[in-house]
Amino acid sequence: MIFNALTILIILLSLFGITNKRFNLIGIFLCSNMMIIAITINLIIFGAIKSNQDIIMIGFFSMIIISCLNSVIIAIIYNYFEKKNSLEPKESLRDE
């Protein structure tokens, strides 16, 4: 399914954004929220195919809850990588 491939691609993008030093915090939040939106679209399409209202409601509520949790988790991971990068000894800019 197209939405499954899109979801996997966005998950990989967000993981790359978390581990990459040059990727800023706004990009990480955008990627994580795009991942949640793709999962929610997947749930809504699945719910529309099954024509079950419960799955659609679970999709909307899980999007709200997971986006809040995901923002907190990504902020914690980002702070961990920032502390890890700041503790590493930095090379001097001048060659002696």
Residues near 56 by Cβ (< 8 Å), separated by ≥ 6?
43, 44, 47, 48
- What ranges do the domains of the chain cover? 2-86
Of 16, 12, 10, give the one whose Cα is nearest residue 40. Answer: 10
Q: What does each of the 96 residues of the chain score in pLDDT, given as a tens digit?
A: 555 666 666 666 666 655 555 556 666 666 666 667 777 777 677 666 666 666 666 666 766 677 667 767 777 777 777 777 666 555 555 554
d(CA 23, CA 38) in angstroms, rounded, equals 21
d(CA 51, CA 58) in angstroms, rounded, equals 13
Which amino acid is located at 5 in the chain? A
